[in-house]
Amino acid sequence: MLFAIDVAVYLFVDFWPAVLAWGLLSMLPKGGVCAFNHHHQHVSTFHKAWANRLLEIQYALMTGVSSQAWVLHHSLGHHLNYLDQTKDESRWARDDGSRMGEWEYAFITTLTAYPRAWEVSKRHPRERRIFWMMGIVITAVVAALVAYKPVNGLIMFVMVPAVMLFGTALATFSHHSDRETSHHFVACNNIIQPFYNALTGNLGYHTAHHYRPGMHWSKLPALHAEIAANIPKEAYNEPGVPWKFFGESEGVNVPVTPSVTAE
């Protein structure tokens, strides 16, 4: 629905302030789209590759993250390395081990997102092939859209996705920053607020997501309940603006039996 509105605004609205206004307003719900793009590249939405590639063009035009970029940077990079801040593709620690500031982290992660994804792809030739081929396709689509309606194209399909990529990096800072990295159950921050998790597809159950990264997003609350007894109270956060205006988290760190033994 959001993508259909984007296309309609691009095609039929010739007053650029209105196009800009929609681009800015659409960024809030597109935060959820960014989350579901992440989920899609952990567990593909469709069984057919061609259907997934078409969906990824839409996701790229909305979020700034193209085919296999999440797979490489996140699934095959960050998930394997997040307990080692010298290797983590989304590392929040500086070279001296100190904690980055939120905006520092967001700028660095945004600027290095594609170079780091490409670096990871050296070890994964199949994903690299999809990554660069779809990158060419998506770049050609964006170029055609800008050529046909330059102002609308630049606002809707260049500026907004670029900001969404930065926003994605900014949002991920709280997932791990300043957490211990000694073992899995202490290395993530969790947000157990219903509205946040409805919009992001349960991404707030972040320890559960890292514990079973191949699990479908809809099953993460149940997995969290199984491992909650192993998650320390300090590994929970309340969401920031604007999510915090929609209520507080519920049932934080209530031990549930049976629990999973920490590994």
Q: Where are the alpha helices (DSSP H) in 26-64?
A: 27-40, 49-63
Q: Identify whether the C-beta of residue 156 lies closer than 8 Å to the C-beta of residue 146.
A: no
Same domain, 21 and 144: yes
Same domain, 147 and 246: no
Q: Which residues of the chain have pLDDT under 50?
A: 253-263
Same domain, 194 and 231: yes
- Both tokens assigned to 143: 């170029």
pLDDT score at 243: 64
User: How do residues 100-129 score in pLDDT, each as one tens digit?
Assistant: 999 999 999 999 999 999 999 999 999 999
Same domain, 33 and 146: yes
Same domain, 62 and 150: yes
Q: Which of 132, 150, 178 is the last residue of a domain?
A: 178
pLDDT score at 252: 54
- Both tokens assigned to 127: 């994903």
Same domain, 152 and 210: no
pTM over 0.85: yes
Same domain, 171 and 191: no
**DSSP of 82-105, one letter per residue?**
TT-TTT-TT--B-TTSPBPPHHHH
Q: Which of 122, 154, 178 is the last residue of a domain?
A: 178
Q: Domain limits at 43?
A: 2-178
As a three-state string, the secondary structure of 228-258 is HHHCCHHHECCCCCCHHHHCCCCCCCCCCCC
How much of the chain is in helix, strand and coil states, percent to nearest 5?
65, 0, 35
Same domain, 147 and 261: no
pLDDT score at 259: 39
User: How do residues 17-37 score in pLDDT, each as one tens digit?
Assistant: 999 999 999 999 999 999 999
* Beta-bridge partner residues of 99: 93
Domain count, the chain: 2
